[in-house]
Amino acid sequence: MASVDPEDTRLARESRAGSLEAFDGIVRRHHASVFGFLLGLTRNRHDAEDLTQETFLRAWRKIRRFDPSKPILPWLLTIARRLSIAMLRKRKPAPVPEAEPVVLPSVSPETPDLWQLAERHLSADAFSALWLHYREELPLAEVGRIIGKREGAVKVLLHRARNTLAGQLRPSPPPLPATPPPLPSIWNNARTTP
């Protein structure tokens, strides 16, 4: 289980007691993480903003159900993921909006940013798992709880994601020439001489 921040525990306890100011503290500490995670899921900045707002609203309404002895971020991210799934289900018949980049382009163009590659080449689930494990530094069990998979399945997902990225970074073989080189002259001689 992820380590519990004592400040988070205090804020969660006070929020459970009804303190909106304490919940503001939770918003201040975690809204960026929730937004980043939702941006990875929806690939749309506007949707991610709306869902972040909805996530904290839902969390405030359900804060009494939260156990303050547990870390709050995985709980918030679980709510966020459920809301994003509900939103995507509702929007299914409509045309899918153009995906926006989640991560900024790397500073130096020579070194490709792994996260950009991940965004381009991985499925939404794999990208979420990667994000939660490496960006939010959550343990596998916690990642599994958030994305609705078992710990073993998360391990496999991450392994495949890393392999995909490694494959993308492997130097590609030199391109084949468009026209094949001419045959050696000895071959032509052999064909003409009886």
Q: Which is nearer to other proteins, 57 or 85 (CB)?
A: 57
Q: Does 1 bind other proteins (CB under 8 A)?
A: no
User: What residues numbered 132-191 form the site for other proteins, per CB under 8 A?
Assistant: 134-135, 159, 162-163, 165-166, 169-170
Q: With respect to other proteins, which residue has the nearer C-beta, 70 or 162?
A: 162
d(CA 74, CA 11): 15
Question: Which region among 45-53, 78-86, 87-95, 177-185 touches other proteins (by CB under 8 A)?
Answer: 45-53
The answer to whether the beta carbons of residues 75 and 66 sit under 8 Å apart is: yes
State yes or no: residue 121 binds other proteins (CB under 8 A).
no
Report the sign of the C-alpha dihedral through residues 184, 185, 190, 191, in that order.
Answer: positive
CB of 159 to other proteins, least distance (A): 7
Using the rule CB under 8 A, which residue among 4, 103, 124, 141 binds other proteins? 103
Residue placing its CB nearer to other proteins in the complex, 131 or 184: 131
85 is an interface residue for other proteins by CB under 8 A: no
Give the position of tokens 């966020």.
80
Interacting residue with other proteins among 8, 23, 75, 138 (CB under 8 A): 23
Query: Which structure tokens are listed for 174?
Result: 């030199």
Cα separation, 63 vs 72, in Å, equals: 10
Binding site for other proteins (CB under 8 A): 18, 20, 23-24, 27-28, 31-32, 35-36, 39, 45, 49, 52-53, 56-57, 60-61, 102-104, 113-115, 118, 130, 134-135, 159, 162-163, 165-166, 169-170
